[in-house]
Amino acid sequence: MNSSFIQATNLVKTYDLGQTKAIDNVSFAINEGEFIAIQGPSGSGKSTLLNIISGLDRAESGEVCVAGFQLDNNGDLSRFRSQIVGFIFQLHNLLPSLTVLENVMIPMVELNLSKKVCVERAERLLERVQLLNKAHRLPTQLSGGERQRVAVARALANEPKLILADEPTGSLDSQTETKVLELLRKIHRERGVTLVVVTHSTDVAQKADRILCMRDGKIIEDRMNRVQSSMPE
């Protein structure tokens, strides 16, 4: 029995038939409402760790429990992903044939809500990310930063308790990066959600309350960030 929001114990994940250890006996705990950065160079295992926490991937051994969901069983984790997690990918991963509004509504398909309620909720979220005026455009008609803001709105669609972001600013210029991070931080504060950001960038990591540093599949440092870089509120 543990009281942490995310509790991971002795996680192991290998690739290439066990030749490459992506995650090597990793244990950590994250409290509800924390803003955590998982930082490390490319290939350190940080994205694999995020995929395991999100229920997109499974560890070969060890235990992981998120918001009361035990993720190491063999069941379908789609309900967990739908109700608990909002995921922001590095490459926004919007559906190109759907409008901005429809993209935000996509996760709501699994909820038992009327279309009217879903449209209103999606419009509120787009307003929150300042893209309501582009609700009926296609993703290809938006800039990179705008697309990532749509991805943020989509991640919030089902009012998740946990937002996981995999290099959310990895494909953005520094000015847009600051705007997206500012948005994520605001949402974290306003909604009290737990925010886990994976990044290779020290600048991005400095925005978090706590930083887990990874190298070669291990957490080599777990520290509170006392010198959070200032961000306009």
Partner 1 sequence: MRMFFLGLIVKNLWRQKVRSLLAILGISIGIASIVALGSIANGMEQNLISALKSPKADFTIGQANTPAIVFGVIRAERLQEIKQWPEIAEAYGALVTFSTFRENPYFVVMGTNPDAFELNGVQLKEGRLYQATSEDEMLLGKVAAATQNLQIGQKTNLDGKEFTVVGIYETGNVFVDGGALVPLQTLQTLKNKLDELTLILVKLHATASVNDVVQKIESKYKNELVTLRDIGEYNRSYQGAGLVRAGTWLVSLLALIIGAIGVMNTMIMVVYERTREIGILRAVGWRRSRVLRMILGESLLLSVLAAGIGAWLGTRAVWLVTQFPQARGLISPHFTSALFVQAILIAIGVGLLAGLYPAYRATKILPQEALRYE
Residues forming contacts to partner 1 in the complex (CB under 8 A) are 51, 54, 56-57, 76, 78-79, 81-83, 85, 87, 89, 93, 95, 97-98, 102, 105-111, 113-115, 118, 154, 157-158
CB of 166 to partner 1, least distance (A): 9
CB of 157 to partner 1, least distance (A): 8
H-helix or E-strand spanning residue 202: helix 202-205
Nearer to partner 1, 82 or 171 (CB): 82
Other C-beta atoms closer than 10 Å to the C-beta of 224 total 10
CB of 69 to partner 1, least distance (A): 13
Read off the DSSP letter of residue 78. Answer: H
CB of 109 to partner 1, least distance (A): 5
Nearer to partner 1, 61 or 78 (CB): 78
**Phi, psi values for residue 189, rounded to 5°:** -75, -45
Nearer to partner 1, 62 or 225 (CB): 62
Positions of E strands within 16-134: 20-30, 35-39, 61-66, 69-70, 85-88
Can you tell me which residue has the tokens 């972001």?
Answer: 165
- CA separation for the pair 196, 223 (Å, rounded): 14
Nearer to partner 1, 29 or 113 (CB): 113
CB of 61 to partner 1, least distance (A): 18
Nearer to partner 1, 110 or 203 (CB): 110
Q: Which residues contact 112 (CB under 8 A, 6 or more apart)?
A: none
